[in-house]
Amino acid sequence: MNQQPSSRVEAAVGAAVALTGLGLAAGAIPIPAEAGYGGVGPNFLPWVVAVVLTLCGALIVREALAGGFKDMEPPSGSERGWWPGLVWVSAGLLLNAALITTIGFILSCGLCYLLAVQGLRRAQGQRASAPGVLAMDLVSGLAIAAPVYWTFTKFLAINLPGLTGSGWI
């Protein structure tokens, strides 16, 4: 069977996804399996993700070898990626990682959200730098990060870096 170039690319993507799953499985092998108070051990989630990734990769390869994604609609949006948007989102992720132990989980995640949304808004051509939009994006990010922080620290007893010793910020 003579494959079209797009089918080969799709098969390569599927193989990469499957290999990522297998790599994650290899990394999960040394993680201890003793069940905790929740009934599952620390290796449970890595194994679930590894199995699902490997299965998804195999299904993508199978679909590509069967002729590719023939009935797929053409992608919407621009033909090329908008690199400044990637820079905004990447800056948010990197600053979150760099500042989380300094300014705490809530503020660093709020900043990450603000920068990521700025990149997405600008990619869509929206007016993103207006003070009201910036304030709304920051408040939205904080409103998402705070309950996540409180859930993990107060209800699940999982330590996340906070700004104060009180455990509320």
Query: What is the pTM (predicted TM-score) of this model?
Result: 0.61
Q: Is the dihedral of CA 122, 144, 90, 8 positive or negative?
A: negative
- Look up residue 162 and give its two tokens: 């906070």
The residue ranking higher by pLDDT, 23 or 125, is 23
Q: HSE of 6 in the Cβ direction (CA atoms, 13 Å)?
A: 7
Q: Read off the pLDDT of each residue in 94-101 and give the average, rounded to a whole number.
A: 93
The residue ranking higher by pLDDT, 155 or 88, is 88
Confidence tier at 166 by pLDDT (50, 70, 90): low
Distance between CA atoms of 152 and 157, rounded to whole angstroms?
6
Q: Where does the chain have alpha helices with state H?
A: 5-28, 44-65, 83-103, 105-123, 131-150
State the virtual CA torsion across 154, 158, 161, 162 in degrees, nearest 10.
10
For all residues of the chain together, what is the average pLDDT? 87
C-alpha dist (Å) from residue 101 to 88, 109, 142: 21, 11, 16
- Look up residue 153 and give its two tokens: 């620290």
Q: Read off the pLDDT of each residue in 125-129 and give the average, rounded to a whole number.
A: 87
CB atoms within 10 A of CB 103: 18
Confidence tier at 169 by pLDDT (50, 70, 90): low
The residue ranking higher by pLDDT, 119 or 43, is 119
pLDDT in tens, 16-38: 999 999 999 999 999 888 876 66
For the chain, report the end-to-end CA distance as a whole number of angstroms.
61
